[in-house]
Amino acid sequence: MLGIDPGLTRCGVGIVDVDRSRRADLVHVGVIRTPVDAPIGERLAAVADGIRSVLVEHRPDAVAVERVFAQHNSHTVMGTAQASGVALLLAAEAGLPAATHTPSEVKAAVTGYGSADKKQVQAMIARILRLDAPPQPADAADALAIALCHAWRRGAGPRQDGGAQTPAQRAWAEAERVARTYIRSTT
């Protein structure tokens, strides 16, 4: 699973391998960087080249991208949206299924709390992937969190393997159950 934390200055990319018991292993993590003063076309091309390289080298089964959300800085959100579009386009060109997840969905999936801060996400990623230290910068950890969120969400539902879930996975399953109950009660 390839997770992408889109951005023009720093675009996080992370690949995890998740088995049927939801145990995850780190495959690759990195950050694609572009100079702030470069023309937008060159920056988008550099992001595309970086993502394309990861796709070719690691051949993931699916791609998950953090969904762009409204920010006060329209310049920042525009760059994030453009990088997100590049990522989704490359997934489609590679014939890979792609999905987007909101930041709160991702945080809830890995920490059990949708408003977790960056340090909490980094710490949980290190714990889940059994790393000696949290991935740096935060964009790298965010990309891994997006990949985990999608892998776990895609496999949501009754467990077939009887394996134990992490606290974050249990919190995610409970949040999905509550959301489904709420939706049913309002329709």
Q: Residue 68 — very low, low, confident or very high, per pLDDT cuts 50/70/90?
A: confident
Mean pLDDT, residues 119-139 = 96
Mean pLDDT, residues 44-67 taken together: 97
- In this prediction, residue 158 has a pLDDT band, given cuts at 50, 70 and 90, of very low
Over residues 53-80, mean pLDDT: 87
Is residue 139 part of an annotated ligand binding site? yes
Statement: residue 157 has pLDDT above 60: no
pLDDT of 45 above 90: yes
What pLDDT band is residue 153 in, cutting at 50, 70 and 90? confident
How confident is residue 79, by pLDDT bands cut at 50, 70 and 90? Answer: confident
Quick one: pLDDT band at residue 166, thresholds 50, 70, 90? low
Contact 23, 151 (CB under 8 A): no
Catalytic center residues: 5, 66, 139
Cis ω on the peptide bond leading into residue 137 (within 30° of 0)? yes
As a whole number of angstroms, the distance between CA 13 and CA 139 comes to: 8
Break the chain into its structural domains and give their ranges: 2-186
Higher-pLDDT residue of 111 and 162 is 111
pLDDT of 87 reads 98
Residue 142 labeled ligand binder: no
Which CATH topology does 2-186 take? Nucleotidyltransferase; domain 5 (3.30.420)
Burial readout 67-104 (b: 16 or more C-beta within 10 A, e: otherwise): bbeeeeeeeeeebbebbbebbbebbeebeeebbbbebe
Q: Which residue has the higher pLDDT, 166 or 125?
A: 125
